[in-house]
Structure 1
Amino acid sequence: MSTPIADVAVIGGTGFYSFLEGGEVTEHHVETPYGDPSGPIAVGEVAGRRVAFLPRHGADHRHPPHGIPFRANAWALRSLGVRQVLAPCAVGGLSTGPDGVAPGDVVVPDQLVDRTFRRVGSFVESGAVHLPFADPYCPGVSAAAAGAADDVRLGGTMVVVEGPRFSTRAESRHYAAAGWDLINMTGAPEAALAREMRQCYASIALVTDMDAGAESGAGVDQEQVFALFKANLERLTGLLTRTIEALPDPDGCSCSTWAEGVGLTYDIPG
């Protein structure tokens, strides 16, 4: 394997278009078998680690949730050597009450429900390669993220919907009744593709609103989501920096070892 250019990646979500500041930052334009990634990938040093940053929607937010080049993004990051991925994102809250969530909460989910339907969700295009995905997020990376601040909650289920529209009240109530905590438009197939690339992946979810049916009279609009995320950018940046500093050694993690002895029918670069 060639010398990695970066071993950790941050995929920035809505409103999170830059991360690396100061020091030497290089920009990499990566060509992939799956088309162009969301944009050039910036690489710099954070907490003594070589970190790649890629804005999920593009620096100018050109890619809507259902139009993000998820496969190209995952392949491009792996081609640079990335083995651990942090994925901050904006989410709506579904669970209420004493154990529920509220706007401003940061949650590191441990489960995912995929309700998307227009996206290519795998690198597998032939043969029998079945990804083990009972636990969709890396426990080691998730623990590092949850331990980076006292007010970060570890655990919860995130349902990913197709978008780009927000939920109806009936849909929101349905998701809440299922016991799910968070709702998002970009967490799938991103998490599964990272696992197929043998990467350790964790989501860091900022609750920007309560979804349409979670509270009486509530509704969601884009301005509200963007404004709350912007107000928490400095907080998220600090959280990511501390998480990167605390990341465990990925060697031997099941996020990678699942593919040992499996006849993969797609190439993993690097």
Structure 2
Amino acid sequence: MPKYQIKVGIIGGSGLDDSPSQIFIHKDVTKLENAKNDFGYPSGNLYHGCIGGVDVVLLSRHGDGHKLSPSNINYRANIEALRLSGCTHILASTACGSLIESINRGQLVLPDSFLDRTISRKGTFFDNTSSSYSGVCHLPMEPVFDPQTSEIVLQAAKELGIDIRKGGTVVTIEGPRFSSKAESNAFRMWGGHLVNMTICPEVILAKEAGLLYTAVAMATDYDCWRENDENVHAVDVLKVFKENVSKVTDLFVKAIELIGKQDWDQDIDNLHALIKSSNISQGS
């Protein structure tokens, strides 16, 4: 018998945060809770359910009705709430701007790295806020996203016939404003493939919490670098995402079913061991 009971946290971003029924379609939502923890309240209620025999917990990143801007999201409370709910994995959706011609509107991407341009967010659990995260942890961030979970998502996409690009660097900006053209072009020169406002510090915190995290990004626009094209606008971002949202929900459902068929003990133990060995404080 596996040591860990698998439970998948689903973080719905822009366009996937209005209702849990978008994920739990034809599924029963078994519990609803507002889960305050050492880091405060998460963005909203946690919806508990089951997909393909796997326990799942859905959290809207921006809160019900998209009430929270990217900089006002309590990322630490969100991740901690999912950890305390027993999650072993996180699948997250995120709307992004494309920084290269070959990633078109509606294209799904599995990112594998990030450039963090945020400036005002709490980016670690290890700051003596909570006894659950004592000490000083210098956690390696390569690989950023869990490789095995990402491979499962790729397998799910292949089985469903969904086109998804493997690999890409996400530039996370502070927001809530979009980039200037000079910034957008700079991100392209740095090797960025996508730009968004929420991957950081979410992916960092998930790794610190010992959760196997991967994100599915959807390109909704071309930011503002592309000549002779309309500049990014929030209304257009949501329109493109909602036109393609079924691809993300179908992909998540299939990936969760596949996750439930794997033995994850070694992957989880390896991450926990990495966190422990990266904590340099005595007695932590």
User: Which of 79, 87, 90 is residue 84 of structure 2 equivalent to?
Assistant: 79
Q: CA RMSD in A?
A: 1.9
For residues 1-270 of structure 1, the aligned pairs below 5 Å read 7-17=7-17, 18=20, 19-25=23-29, 26-96=31-101, 100-126=102-128, 127-150=135-158, 151-247=163-259, 248-253=262-267, 254-261=270-277, 263=279
Identical residues among aligned pairs (%)? 35
Structure 1 residue 135: deviation in Å? 1.4
For residues 194 and 256 of structure 1, the distance between their equivalents in structure 2, rounded to whole angstroms, comes to 12
Output one character per residue of 1:3-40: Cα deviation in whole Å (capped at 9) or x when no partner.
99971111000011222233431112211111100011
1:219 maps to a residue whose letter is: N
TM-score by length of 1: 0.91
TM-score by length of 2: 0.87
2:114 maps to a residue whose letter is: L
For residues 204 and 216 of structure 1, the distance between their equivalents in structure 2, rounded to whole angstroms, comes to 28
Structure 1 residue 232: deviation in Å? 1.2
1:58 maps to a residue whose letter is: G
1:66 maps to a residue whose letter is: S
For residues 102 and 22 of structure 1, the distance between their equivalents in structure 2, rounded to whole angstroms, comes to 31
Q: How many residues align?
A: 260
Cα distance 1:36–1:4, how it changes in 2: closer, same or farther (>3 A)?
farther
Structure 1 residue 260: deviation in Å? 3.7
Q: Structure 2, unaligned stretches of length 5 or more?
A: 129-134
For residues 157 and 205 of structure 1, the distance between their equivalents in structure 2, rounded to whole angstroms, comes to 11
Contact 2:38 2:77 in 1 (8 A): yes
Contact 1:4 1:80 in 2 (8 A): no
Cα distance 1:35–1:4, how it changes in 2: closer, same or farther (>3 A)?
farther
Q: Structure 1, unaligned stretches of length 5 or more?
A: 266-270
Structure 1 residue 263: deviation in Å? 4.7
Output one character per residue of 1:31-77: Cα deviation in whole Å (capped at 9) or x when no partner.
11111000110010111100000000001111100000100000000
